[in-house]
């Protein structure tokens, strides 16, 4: 008997096949049992008609419990009533592993309960759909940067340098040396860009912030491109092109997942139109003041402010040129103003906040050294980083996109922790 996965059902209409899967739910009447089957590739219905199978098979179908694993053999047929469009008319059932008292029943459960049972919640149709979107974003990321001529480079996870505020670092010991879990691969990627031109990294990032908002994680994944011979405006064009590419790829390849999540696909289509709007930090502050927000020039934006700004547009929006005092040491000052830097945050619509932060990097040796000293950083720890400005420095820019927050936005889910496969230790300690 031919063994297939559920996702392959459209290729086997009218054929008798065997599928291994789990019972996600079931219902039955006196003459028919309906089994909701999943196998990791998709969900669909198994129909067991009492008059068409042996009595023992029908009795077994009615007694199956949630998340029991089974082999089912039957005939694939079209089912125009379902979103998937196909079902299996079951002839035989074999139990592989029984499941008793499965804790996540079809009733409503709170987020904390579900996160405590994440290893099981991952089996639900909603979480399956989110993971499909996550997979597509990862696939499309590699495809996009390969098409654009970037090389993938892997920076270290244990580092001796801070790219951002040193108070946000997880400290450890590397034999007799201090070391930190990486909060960004950016500094290393700048070195790679000086060798290879256009590069990107894709890896885990750690921020020691005890944040409990639905937008933040302590451990997450970042995509960090760096580009030699590129100014900030050129970098913005790459950023918006990349995000639009991700959105279009999800629309093209995750239709069923978007249906399960009840995501508005027409709304997502708006996010593929370029260019994205731009507003300066100065303009954003004035806009907020005009709408009764208490904020002064020089302050960073919080979630309410970002959401309000984003709501003025139908697309992701860039906020340009933040004050130097609230940004990291490596950002290049604006050529016409010393109080702001050449940087931008991309704010996602619908209240999902910042998904990209980027800037033109300081390429002058003496200017960078001065900034390191002003930030209280030990010059010796950054000798190698300064070398990039000593030996053939060039204008260069880069940015970082947070994977989980982007997935949360594209999938239209409420909590960022739904975008990670498992509640890693750090994210469980400080949810």
Three-state helix/strand/coil letters over the chain: CEECCHHHHHHHECCEEEEEEEEEEEEECCCEEEEEEECCCCEEEEEEEHHHCCHHHHHHHHHCCCCCEEEEEEEEEECCCCCCCEEEEEEEEEEEECCCCCCCCCCCCCHHHHHHCHHHHCCCHHHHHHHHHHHHHHHHHHHHHHHCCCEECCCCCEECCCCCCHHHCCEEEECCEEEEECCCCHHHHHHHHHHHCEEEEEEEEECCCCCCCCCCCCEEEEEEEEEECCCHHHHHHHHHHHHHHHHHHHHHHCHHHHHHCCCCHHHHHHCCCCCCCEEEHHHHHHHHHHCCCCCCCCCCCCHHHHHHHHCCCCCCEEEECCEHHHCCCCECEECCEEEEECEEEEEECCCCEEEEEEEEECCCHHHHHHHHHHCCCCHHHHHHHHHHHHCCCCCEEEEEEEHHHHHHHHHCCCCHHHHCCCCCHHHHHCC
- As a whole-number percent, the residues of the chain with pLDDT over 90 amount to 80
Sketch out the chain's domains with CATH numbers.
2-97 (2.40.50.140), 118-419 (3.30.930.10)
pLDDT of residue 167: 58
pLDDT tens for each residue of 151-196: 999 999 988 766 665 557 888 888 888 888 888 899 999 999 999 9
User: Which one, of 203, 167, 208, 168, lies nearest residue 186 by Cα?
Assistant: 203
Distance set, CA 381 to CA 164, 341, 363, 386, 398 (Å): 14, 24, 18, 10, 22
Average pLDDT for 80-95:
95
pLDDT of residue 214: 61
pLDDT score for 272: 98
Reported confidence tier of residue 217, pLDDT bands at 50, 70, 90: confident
Q: Is the peptide bond before 380 cis (omega within 30 degrees of 0)?
A: no
* In contact, 406 and 246? CB cutoff 8 Å: yes
- Residue 164 has a pLDDT of 62
Give residue-wise pLDDT tens across range 5-20.
999 999 999 999 999 9
Predicted confidence (pLDDT) at residue 425 exceeds the cutoff of 60: no
pLDDT in tens, 13-59: 999 999 999 999 999 888 999 999 999 999 999 999 999 999 999 99
Average pLDDT, the chain: 93
User: Looking at residue 211, what is its pLDDT?
Assistant: 60
> What count of residues does the chain have?
431
The two tokens of residue 420 are 């990670």
Give the span between the Cα atoms of 394 and 361, in whole angstroms.
10
| Cα-Cα end-to-end distance for the chain | 47
Residue 212: pLDDT band with limits 50, 70, 90: low
Q: Whole-model pTM? A: 0.93
Q: Is the pLDDT of residue 213 over 70?
A: no
Instruction: For 229-275, write each residue's pLDDT tens digit.
Output: 999 999 999 999 999 999 999 999 999 999 999 999 999 999 999 99
Confidence of residue 381 (pLDDT cuts 50, 70, 90): confident
Residue 53: its pLDDT value, please?
Answer: 97
Residue 151 — φ and ψ, nearest 5°? Answer: -110, 140
Query: What is the predicted pLDDT for the residue at 42?
Result: 95
- What percentage of residues in the chain have a pLDDT greater than 70? 94
Q: What's the whole-number mean pLDDT along residues 132-143?
A: 98
**Averaged pLDDT for residues 374-402:** 95
Phi, psi angles (nearest 5°) of residue 49: -95, 125
């Amino acid at each position: 008997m031919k063994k297939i996965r559920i996702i392959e059902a459209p290729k086997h209409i009218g054929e008798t096949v065997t599928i291994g899967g789990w019972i996600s739910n079931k219902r039955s009447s006196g003459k028919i049992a309906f089994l909701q089957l999943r196998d990791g590739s998709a969900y669909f219905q198994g129909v067991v008609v009492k008059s068409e199978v042996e009595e023992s098979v029908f009795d077994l179908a009615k007694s199956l419990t949630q998340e029991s694993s089974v082999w089912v053999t039957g005939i694939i047929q079209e089912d125009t009533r379902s979103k998937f469009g196909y079902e299996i008319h079951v002839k035989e059932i074999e139990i592989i592993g029984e499941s008793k008292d499965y804790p996540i029943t079809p009733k409503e459960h709170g987020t904390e309960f579900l996160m405590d049972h994440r290893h099981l919640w991952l089996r639900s149709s909603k979480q399956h759909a989110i993971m499909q979107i996550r997979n597509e974003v990862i696939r499309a990321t590699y495809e996009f940067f390969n098409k654009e001529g970037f090389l993938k480079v892997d920076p270290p996870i244990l580092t001796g340098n801070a790219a951002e505020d040193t108070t946000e670092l997880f400290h450890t010991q590397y034999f007799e040396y201090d070391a930190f879990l990486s909060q960004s691969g950016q500094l290393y990627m700048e070195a790679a860009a000086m060798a290879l031109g256009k590069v990107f990294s894709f890896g885990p990032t750690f921020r020691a912030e005890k944040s409990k908002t639905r937008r933040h994680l302590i451990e997450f994944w970042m995509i960090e491109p760096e580009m030699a011979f590129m100014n900030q405006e050129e970098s913005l064009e790459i950023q918006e092109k990349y995000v639009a590419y991700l959105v279009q790829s999800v629309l093209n390849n995750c239709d069923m997942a978007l249906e399960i999540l009840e995501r508005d696909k027409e709304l997502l289509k708006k996010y593929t139109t370029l260019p994205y709007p731009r507003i300066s930090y100065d303009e954003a502050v004035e806009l907020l003041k005009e709408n009764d927000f208490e904020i002064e020039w020089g302050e960073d934006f919080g979630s309410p402010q970002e959401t309000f700004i984003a709501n003025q547009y139908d697309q992701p929006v860039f906020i340009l040129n933040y004050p130097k005092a609230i940004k990291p040491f490596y950002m290049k000052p604006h050529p016409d103003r010393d109080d702001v830097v050449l940087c931008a945050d991309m704010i996602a619509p619908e209240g999902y906040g910042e998904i990209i932060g980027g800037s033109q990097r300081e390429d002058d040796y003496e200017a960078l050294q001065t900034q390191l000293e002003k930030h209280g950083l030990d010059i010796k720890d950054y000798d190698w980083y300064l070398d990039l400005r000593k030996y053939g420095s060039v204008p260069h820019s880069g940015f970082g996109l947070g994977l989980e927050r982007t997935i949360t936005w594209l999938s239209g889910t409420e909590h960022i922790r739904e975008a990670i496969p498992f509640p890693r230790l750090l994210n469980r300690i400080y949810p």
